[in-house]
Amino acid sequence: QVQLVESGGGLVQPGDSLRLSCTASGGTFSRYTMGWFRQAPGKERQYVSVIRMGDNKIYYADSVKGRFTLSRDNAKNTLYLQMNGLRPEDTAVYYCAATARGLIASTIRLMGEYDIWGQGTQVTVSS
């Protein structure tokens, strides 16, 4: 069973950048669809960005498109989320997630399709 550990969160000012990392262990990394979800205080967890196994197609939520960049390094078993132009509304706990299921465009953004989760890393954007 794959285990996920996130890192890279912190406190930054609006407009700053952060890079989150999610390192996987215990499985064949390339065989998993992986992504980032986030949960702000008092709100439901929401999809941010995912990368599908096999074709490596990447999906972004509209709220982060053009600012965030998702990538994976299969040799390092690591998923990255480069976050530029951070805004106060990006403040949340960011969770890395993975699934070995084959997902299609209509389901890949759904939190319930992911059965492996990291512990989360806090990102706070504030002046």
pLDDT at residue 120, as a whole number: 97
pLDDT at residue 58, as a whole number: 97
pLDDT at residue 28, as a whole number: 84
How far is 93 from 9, CA to CA, in rounded Å?
9
pLDDT at residue 29, as a whole number: 85
Edge-first strand listing for the sheet containing 18-25: 3-7, 18-25, 78-83, 68-73
pLDDT at residue 123, as a whole number: 98
pLDDT at residue 30, as a whole number: 85
What is the mean pLDDT for each group of 10 consecutive residues in the chain (127 residues)? 94 98 91 96 96 94 98 94 98 97 88 96 97
